[in-house]
Chains A and B, each alone.
Chain A
Amino acid sequence: NAGVTQNPKFQVLKTGQSMTLQCAQDMNHNSMYWYRQDPGMGLRLIYYSASEGTTDKGEVPNGYNVSRLNKREFSLRLESAAPSQTSVYFCASSRQGFRGYTFGSGTRLTVV
């Protein structure tokens, strides 16, 4: 029972570099989410996917893109990293009808 798995756990990027954050869940959940967590600002929704084949913007989507590859996998891509994207990124999933998320353990990203 892995739950929600995120890779990598740590990453340092230079400004302008690109990278993809990986997320996979093995709970057969329909919905998946990407949040970022910054000190004093709580968790903010970047993008979400209500079901396989659909994605939609959250509160802070600028500078990010997502792909719902299949029901299990939901990736987050930074095309041109900026220092303002230094944060801890969490992927979460939820099953239909259940109010609450299962979170991964996060990716700590530093952009220098």
Chain B
Amino acid sequence: TQLLEQSPQFLSIQEGENLTVYCNSSSVFSSLQWYRQEPGEGPVLLVTVVTGGEVKKLKRLTFQFGDARKDSSLHITAAQPGDTGLYLCAGDPSAGTYKYIFGTGTRLKVLA
């Protein structure tokens, strides 16, 4: 069974601080997605990375896919209270099946 491990599990920081969330596996994925989930809602797709070494930026969020396509990171610069939520990574183990495997999540709280 392919697993995606996220770290840290919980993170509580002050507004304005920077943070990095990691998503690691021993398996190769054809693509990897990052989602954010708010209480009482479903996850919302933030980004998809496909190529090893790929870096994508979404305003203050920077996503990187590892060279070997086994890991990914999410870096948030100058965190804001609106960034609070559960961040999930999801990997596609077989291109074209779209049966994603989800990590257990990182719960982020940004304090004003």
Indicate, yes or no, whether A interacts with B.
Answer: yes
A residues engaging B (CB < 8 A)? 4, 31, 33, 35, 40-45, 48, 50, 58-59, 90, 92, 94, 99-106
A-B contact pairs, 23 of them (CB 8 A): A31-B98, A41-B104, A42-B88, A42-B104, A42-B105, A43-B88, A43-B90, A43-B102, A45-B100, A48-B99, A50-B98, A90-B42, A94-B98, A99-B33, A99-B50, A99-B98, A100-B33, A100-B45, A101-B43, A101-B98, A103-B42, A105-B41, A106-B41
Cβ contact within 8 Å between A102 and B45: yes
Of residues 13 through 52 on chain B, the ones whose CB sits less than 8 Å from some CB of chain A are 31, 33, 40-45, 48, 50
Q: Does residue B92 face the partner (Cβ distance < 8 Å to A)?
A: yes
Q: Report the bound CA distance from A44 to B90 in whole Å.
A: 11
| Distance between A19 CB and nearest chain B CB, rounded to angstroms | 20
* 9 additional A-B residue pairs with CB within 8 Å, beyond A90-B43, A100-B33, A106-B42: A42-B104, A90-B42, A99-B33, A99-B98, A101-B33, A101-B45, A101-B90, A103-B44, A106-B41
Chain A residue contacts of B101, Cβ below 8 A: 45
Chain B residue contacts of A50, Cβ below 8 A: 97-98
Chain B residue contacts of A48, Cβ below 8 A: 99
User: What is the predominant secondary structure among interface residues of chain B facing chain A?
Assistant: loop
Cβ contact within 8 Å between B99 and A58: yes
Q: Report the bound CA distance from A50 to B97 in whole Å.
A: 8
Chain B residue contacts of A42, Cβ below 8 A: 4, 88, 102-105
Residue-by-residue, is B38-74 near A (CB-CB < 8 Å gives 1, otherwise 0)?
A: 0011111100101000000000000000000000000
Residue of A nearest to B45 (CB): A100
Chain B residue contacts of A58, Cβ below 8 A: 99
Q: Report the bound CA distance from A59 to B4 in whole Å.
A: 14
Complex A-B, nearest 6 residue pairs according to Cβ-Cβ distance, in ascending order? A103-B42, A43-B102, A42-B104, A100-B45, A42-B102, A99-B48
